[in-house]
Amino acid sequence: MKLTAIFAILIFSFNTLAQREHGVRPTETGGPLKFEQAVFDVLDYDVALNVDPRAKTIAGTTTMTARTVIPTNTIMLDLDGAMTITKLTDGRGDLKYEHKDGKIWIWFPMTKQVGDEIKTVITYSGSPKVAPNPPWIGGIMWAKTPSGADWISVALQNDGADLIFPCKDHPSDKPATASMHITVPDPLIAVGPGKYVGVKKAANGTSTHSWRMTNPIANYSIVFNAAPYKLIEDQVATVAGGTIPLKFYILPENFDKGAKLVEETKKYNAFFEKYLGPYPFRSQKLGIVETPHLGMEHSTAIAYGNKYKFAPDGFDSLMFHEYGHEWWANLVTASDWRDFWIHEGFQSFMDTLWFEESKGKEAYFTAMKARAKGFRNMQPVAPREPKIAYQVYMAEPDYLKSDGDIYGKGAYVLHTLRYLIGDGAFFRALRRMAYPTKEMETWTDGRQARLVNTDDFLTIAEAESKMELDWFFEMYLRQPKLPKLVAAQEGGILNLRWETPNNMPFPMPIDIEVAGKIQRVEIKDGGKVVVAATEAPSVVVDPKGWVLRQH
Ligand SMILES: [Zn+2]
């Protein structure tokens, strides 16, 4: 059972890597923030779209409400070049604008002062980019259900939400609230983030489904899925007290399989709440939507496309992974894609921790060791300079294949940190990274959500461990190369020292097993282990595989 489950994870990662090789690199999202983006703070997006699966077009209006934070008469939004703007106003009168190279430059007649409201009402239409390799290289999907009905999906994390609506295409600005009004042909149901507001039927055989999310939400989660969904309604107990409404929008063909996934998700919720604190969006819903692509962590409407491939023990690795992103991505969000590993590395660590929880410590060690085989060590896990998403997610220099290190290496870095600072400090740090204070665990009005970076975690880990950890973060996250442990045995003494890139300091201890006994050896200025000289005992360096290093 253990091996099968681990094998399933390996296959999953391998497919993931293979499928990303596609010849089309994602479009740009994030990167250095332009001045004309930094001057305003988005409060709300209201996205109304008429979606026509026959013509494969979308047409609609997006209203952005924002607040001026630096005086300006110019702002810049992103909207993919496949879309054509027909009208752009401030809600009262036309605004001067230029839509060029996927950017909209908008000029106001008078300089907006700090605190002034900025409103743009943009009407547009077009044939949105079709996703060449969703969810990794994204866009819209015009798929069909097994019974031949339209099944429309959107995934664009690595590409930016500007493929379907005009927005400030940068992770540092999550609107406090967002609404979607999606018009689709009957009997399709369009599912979006937050709470279902209701449906308006039109005489022409279409219906408009409205959703409203009143917690901060990343742009790439402001998406919809549409199909003739059936709804499974349930509820999940939360450590915060009471229950969370669970809504699973499932294809009618798979309705019977839904109950099992719901029961699994309840287990995962208990696991994440135990280690990280309460489900962050319990004022909204716990949402799952069946999608034609593998999956994505769309907040309160998790995209699930794993086709109910449960492991023999019932585990659904995809559902588990995407649901965990409600903490690592949706509650705690990297303010720049350079810190993408806080989403994927932290969640990959949780994926591996689940083995410890469900099958014991040895299963955890085995699963973590299996991760180490795929590291590329070509680019830092957490570079310091601003990055567009694909520069971090994909491998240099052509960005067509996944780099992968933000997943597996990120998880392994946390594993090694766990060894260094011990379980007590480590799990306290993990929880404080999710919710810095106990009080924040009680908030559901949106204040619980935070934008973070790698240094935040350094601060928290140092505070919880009372150790200086700069050297650890520098070695494993800020540059790509791994340290090498050099061991030389002379008679009855084993001498250990670290060989590091640019002679970086690296006072990392390591476990040594001599004749079946494990001891932790400090290697501050070269470590020494006394081994019994008499009968050539077996010496194993780091038998459990705690420390990330070059082999
Ligand atoms: Zn992920």
Cα 386 to ligand 1 centre (Å) = 20
Q: What is the pLDDT of residue 29?
A: 94
- Give exposure, 393-416, as e/b (b: 16+ Cβ within 10 Å): bbbeeebbbbbbbbbbbbbbbbbb
Cα 285 to ligand 1 centre (Å) = 20
Q: Reduced to 3 states, what is the DSSP secondary structure of residue 505?
A: coil
Residue 154: closest CA among 181, 190, 122: 190
- Could you read off the pLDDT of 29-44 as tens digits, one per residue? 999 999 999 999 999 9
Q: What is the pLDDT of residue 6?
A: 37
Q: What is the pLDDT of residue 1?
A: 31
Cα 512 to ligand 1 centre (Å) = 34
Q: What is the pLDDT of residue 77?
A: 98
Cα 146 to ligand 1 centre (Å) = 27
Q: What is the pLDDT of residue 535?
A: 56
Q: Give the whole-angstrom CA distance, residue 327 versus residue 332.
A: 6
Q: What is the pLDDT of residue 189?
A: 98
Q: What is the pLDDT of residue 197?
A: 98
Q: What is the pLDDT of residue 444?
A: 98
Q: What is the pLDDT of residue 87?
A: 98
Q: What is the mean pLDDT of each run of 10 residues along the chain (551 residues)?
A: 37 38 76 97 98 98 98 98 98 97 97 98 97 94 98 96 98 98 98 98 98 98 98 98 98 98 98 98 98 98 98 97 98 98 98 98 97 93 96 88 93 98 98 98 98 98 98 98 91 89 95 90 80 68 96 88
Cα 347 to ligand 1 centre (Å) = 7
Cα 58 to ligand 1 centre (Å) = 28
Q: Give the whole-angstrom CA distance, residue 188 versus residue 450.
A: 35
Cα 523 to ligand 1 centre (Å) = 35
Residue 134: closest CA among 322, 304, 299, 293: 293
Cα 407 to ligand 1 centre (Å) = 8
Strand partners, 303: 289, 296
Cα 16 to ligand 1 centre (Å) = 11
End-to-end CA separation in angstroms for the chain: 29
Q: Give the whole-angstrom CA distance, residue 401 versus residue 423.
A: 35
